[in-house]
Every structure is written in C-alpha cells, then in structure tokens.
Structure 1
Amino acid sequence: MKFPAKVQALKAEEVSKSPSYRSDVLELAMMFDYCLNPKRTTQKRWSPKIASKVRTQRHSLLRFLQFSVATWCRLDAAYDFSVDPSRKQWDPLAKAISLNPANRVQTKKYRPVIPAPRQIVELFRDSDGFFVPVKSVRKAFEAMQDELCLPRDRETGPKLIRRSMANLVRPMLGETQWPQGKLMMGHQKGDISDLYAPARPDYMGLAMRATEEIIDQIEALAPGAFTGASPEITTAKGAVNV
C-alpha cells in the first residue's frame, strides 16, 4: 500500500543561496589578459620563450572564455560545442549556434539555438573540431582566480562568466526585452519558427548586439581577446594547471 508523500520537494532557489558575485567588463577583460599576456607574480620576469609557452598552455582557458562570453552557455555546453559538420552545431550561413549537438536528447537544462556574435564567427573559421579543446578548465580557472584575487567560497568559478554576461546585458535590454536574455540562457524556449530567423530583432537580435558591444569593450581593454592569433597548442603540456 502506498501513502502520499508528506514532504514536498522544494525548488533549488528555495533551498540554496545562489552566488551573488558578478564580474564587470573590466574584470572580464582582465581574465582575457591573463591568458594573452602571462606575467610571473614574483619579481623575476619570464623570458619571452617561457611566456610564450605559458600563453600556449592557457589557450584552452582563452577558448572557454571566448565561447562563454559569446553564448552565455552552461559549462557542459561549452565543452560540448564543435564546428564538425556531423554534429550540426554550427550553421555558417545563418550564423547560428546550436548548443545541443545532433542526436542528443534535450534535458531540463535546455540548450537553445542562438545567433552568433560576429566576433566569434571569425574564430570558428580557424577551428575544425571542438572549440574548447579540453574536458574541463576548472583547474586553470582556479589558478586565474588566485592570480586575479577573485573571491572564492563558491562565489566565482567557471559559471561566473554566464552569470556576469546575463547581469551585464539585462540592464542594456531593459525588462521589456529581457525575454531575449532568457532565450539565450535556455530559461525560455523559442517557437520553432524562430529557428529560421535567429538574428531578427524580435528573436534574439537585441541580446546578440548587446553581447557584441560587450565583446568590443573587452577587446578594447584586452587587445587580442577575440582577434589575436591562436597559438600552437601541440607542444603544450599541463595546460589545465597553468
């Protein structure tokens, strides 16, 4: 004989406190600069050869930052994205990104199809597989947190990029247009007909343009953030720990 449950499960927001820390554009730019212009924290300076090697080792973290800023996506979606045509995640004609690869069943954490900011499109042209070439950037992100003196206690971590982008774009859109932000984050599902015109202003076009504006600001503060040449990564080892 079954009895009805006496305790009702609570929603996550009712039982856990979400991290409140968010990065501004300057701090996001500092993260890119950390990858592009590594500096030794002690008084002794790195030789150009060593600095170049460290820059190469931080390439995976740079790729994660680029993709996360451009798409506001969840961590698993960033690691999962590939320009390989067989995965049907990148449509260069429509300039649309499908965060959910072909044949993967959607879950509660919905992965949307979103318009690609113009700055990430150029980077896709230099890629032929997974854009973030590692399974995790957690250790690399932790090392960056320490060097940039970012708060700990679960306030930051790789999820900080997604939270910060939403926080920056929301006031730019205003509450009337914020549903576009919800579509970008996968918190709201678009109509299937919207997939045929992902860059229209009434779909996510305003959110995309706000994202492009933030990327331009980051690029101005950290030249090369989205325009720098990709380093050779074949000789780097221990990349996730640098």
Structure 2
Amino acid sequence: MDRHYLAVHRPASDEKADYTVHQAMTDYWTLHGSTRVSADAIRARLKLINRFIDHEIAIGVMREPVLPSILNDEWLARFRLWATSIDTIAPQRRAADDRALPPKKRAKSTAEESIIQLKAALRFNARRMTDVPRLKHLTRAEVTPKRTYRLSSDSLAELLHYTCVGDGSAVHATRLIPLRRYLIGAISTMARPDAVMDMSASRARGQWNPAERLFDLNPPGRIQTKKYRAVVPVTELLDDWLSATDDRLVCAEVLRCDDEGDWLDQRPIQSVKKAWQAMQAKLGIPIGWGPKLIRYSVASILRRRGVDKDQLAVALGHQALNSTTERYATLDPEDPRYLESVRALLDELSAELMQKAGTFIRAKSTEVGGNGRRRLL
C-alpha cells in the first residue's frame, strides 16, 4: 500500500514545501533502493547521512524539520569532517598479535559515496519537493591518494609458500588452507574478493565448465552490478583445486580417519580476513592493503608482460560483454580463442608460481567415494 501510494501520489505545493530530507531518503529506499542488488550498500550510505543529521540536531546545529534547502557546501564540509575524523568506525581494535590499534577512521571515499547516494535520493524525489539542492561530490581520484604498491611474482610465490608452512607447525599450516585456496582463486581469476568467496565447483551452481576450461564468476540467478563479474579462463592450477573441491573453493579442510580410509570434509568459511592480517604482518605487506591487492598485482604483472588490453578489461569486469564486444572472437566466451592472451599469461604465471613456491601448492589427490565423501588417495 505504501509503495503504491508513493508511486501514484502527486504532492500539492504545500506538501512540497514541507518535504524533508528524511522523507526523501525513506521514500527513495521504499520505492527504489530496497529493490536493488546493492541494497545493503545503499542502506549503509543513507544510514550514515541519517546519523550525521541526528548528530547535528542533538548538538543544536540543525533543527527539525530538516528541509532539502538547507543542504549546501557548508553542510557538506561539516559532514565530511564528521564522517572521516570524528565518527570512528571501530573505537577499539586489536591486531592479530593482540596489540591495541588506534581507532579506525572512515575513508574519505566512503563519505563521498554517501553524498552520491543522498543526491540520488533527492533527484529521485524531485517532484515531491520545491527544489533539488545542487550538491557537488568529490570523485574517488580527488579523495584517494594513488597507491602504487604491488606484489611481484616472487612475492606472490612467498605468500603461497607461507600458507603451506605457516609458523612451522602442521596445525597452523592446516588452518591456513582457506587462505591458500583464496590465493589460488584470486591469482587465477583476478576476481574481486567477494567474487572469489562466491566461487563454487558444484555442478548445481553451474559456474565451472571443465570441458571448456571456463569459470563464470557470476553465479546463476545473481543480477550483474556495475562491478561486473566476468567469465574467465581456468588455469591448470585452478583446475587442479576445483577438481578437488565439492562446493565452495574457499573452504576449510578437516581430515577424518576410519577403518575405510582417510576422508576430507570441506566446510565453507565466511572470511579470510584474520588469516590475511597475520600473513600481512609476517611478510611485511604494508598496512591498509587487503586481499584485493592480489587482483591489482596480477593485473599489473599481466600488463607488464604484454597482455591484450581489451581482453584484460573484460577479464577484470571493467568492460561488460555485449553484442558489440562479442563480435570479436577473443571476447566471445563461446569461441575457443576467448581471452587467449589472458589465458596464456595466467597459465604462464601459475607455472612460474608452482616452480617458485613448490609443487606442494597443488591440491591433495582425492576421489569422491560411493558414499559421496571425498577420500584421500
């Protein structure tokens, strides 16, 4: 009923004059934001704006009702200061070794994303207000210093080696198997972290095509977003790990032994963040770089080795496939030459890493028994 009323109602002049910023954000969420694939992100951005307005009302800077007309450059400046310097994300934090860390501040780009979302909410409800304020957001390039740190192939091999040996104990190395699986997936596909965590070898999911050596990073049923998930070639190393996986690529492995043999149970996990942070501290990866560093680093290595730029753009999801791009054989997933430049260089890099890190980065030899369980060979 609320959605239908909002969709068909035509506000009178007095209603437009009284229309508030809170109403604009609520109506935008009800009619549009809640239906989007990025609904969680939209809600978080609008929530930040709401919290700032509540903060300003509480300290007496603003008064209710908060109308769109009071939003100006001065208001944006106050919001940016509050969002990035005053309102901390995590007041109390601890490192992997239990050291106390300073409060984590919100990135400037995050504040700008909230401003962009607010502008979208106001534009969406333009007919419900007297006038839409002209707000200018800053681009990511304007607020984010260019970061050029990248991992070399030697460094990537060192990361893989670390996940095999850990601190030297067999127990620790076993705990690092999910991180090793994550690295294999990230290096082999250059996918964003969330896409790597979504990778599945299950036939029911339909992402992996072993016959064509292709992997669809976008699971069936998931709507593509601006962060496009591509169909990517499967390297020999990734194929080895997918063949040894029941469902999610990034999973923990538990060895169980009985009279019939040694069985490997695989359990999906939610995150490799803690394992990454421990490795980061151990190997000296600069603070501020998360698992997405793998994507940047592999792409940089391929660029230096002369990869076809158009093919790389498709593999990274920077260029979505459409009727125009699919006219070219190397950009058509149904053509044997699909992303052939990317495939060749990823295979080359995988072979190089196996040589540098040791062949033990391959998956354990297993087979699925008649009972559906995976047996170690």
TM-score where L is the length of structure 1? 0.82
In structure 2, the partner of 1:137 is: 272
Q: Distance in 1 between matches of 2:304 and 2:136?
A: 35
Secondary structure of the 1:206 match is helix
Q: Distance in 1 between matches of 2:300 and 2:360?
A: 20
Residue 179 (str. 1) matches residue 310 (str. 2): yes
Secondary structure of the 2:215 match is strand
Q: Distance in 2 between matches of 1:16 and 1:4?
A: 28
- 1:34-77 Cα offsets, whole Å, 9 max, x none, are 0112235xxxxxxxxxx211111000000000000000000100
Kindly provide the amino acid, as one letter, of the partner of residue 171 in structure 1.
R
In structure 2, the partner of 1:212 is: 347
Aligned length: 214
In structure 2, the partner of 1:61 is: 179
Cα deviation, residue 88, structure 1: 1.3
- 1:183-242 Cα offsets, whole Å, 9 max, x none, are 111001124641212x51xx31111111111111111111036425279xxxxxxxxxxx
Matches of residues 34-45 of structure 1 in structure 2 within 5 Å? 34-39=162-167
Q: Which runs of no fewer than 5 residues in structure 2 stay unpaired? A: 1-128, 252-268, 327-331, 367-377
CA RMSD, aligned part only? 1.9
Q: Distance in 2 between matches of 1:225 and 1:173?
A: 29
In structure 1, the partner of 2:29 is: none
Secondary structure of the 2:302 match is helix
Question: Where does structure 1 differ by over 6 angstroms across 4 or more consecutive aligned residues?
Answer: none
In structure 2, the partner of 1:11 is: 139
Residue 89 (str. 1) matches residue 224 (str. 2): no
Kindly provide the amino acid, as one letter, of the partner of residue 182 in structure 1.
A
Matches of residues 62-211 of structure 1 in structure 2 within 5 Å? 62-133=180-251, 134-152=269-287, 154=288, 156-173=289-306, 177-191=308-322, 193=326, 194-197=332-335, 199-200=336-337, 203-211=338-346
Kindly provide the amino acid, as one letter, of the partner of residue 294 in structure 2.
I
Q: Distance in 2 between matches of 1:108 and 1:3?
A: 29
Is the Cα–Cα contact under 8 Å of residues 70 and 211 in structure 1 kept in the other structure?
yes
Secondary structure of the 1:86 match is coil
Q: Distance in 1 between matches of 2:141 and 2:202?
A: 37
Which one has a bigger Cα radius of gyration? 2
Cα deviation, residue 117, structure 1: 1.2
Q: Distance in 1 between matches of 2:281 and 2:271?
A: 18
Is the Cα–Cα contact under 8 Å of residues 32 and 62 in structure 1 kept in the other structure?
yes
Residue 27 (str. 1) matches residue 145 (str. 2): no
Q: Which runs of no fewer than 5 residues in structure 1 stay unpaired? A: 41-50, 232-242
Q: 1:6 to 1:89 in 2, by over 3 A?
A: same
Secondary structure of the 2:162 match is helix
Is the Cα–Cα contact under 8 Å of residues 241 and 363 in structure 2 kept in the other structure?
no
Q: Distance in 2 between matches of 1:64 and 1:105?
A: 23
Is the Cα–Cα contact under 8 Å of residues 123 and 226 in structure 1 kept in the other structure?
no
% identity of equivalent residues: 30
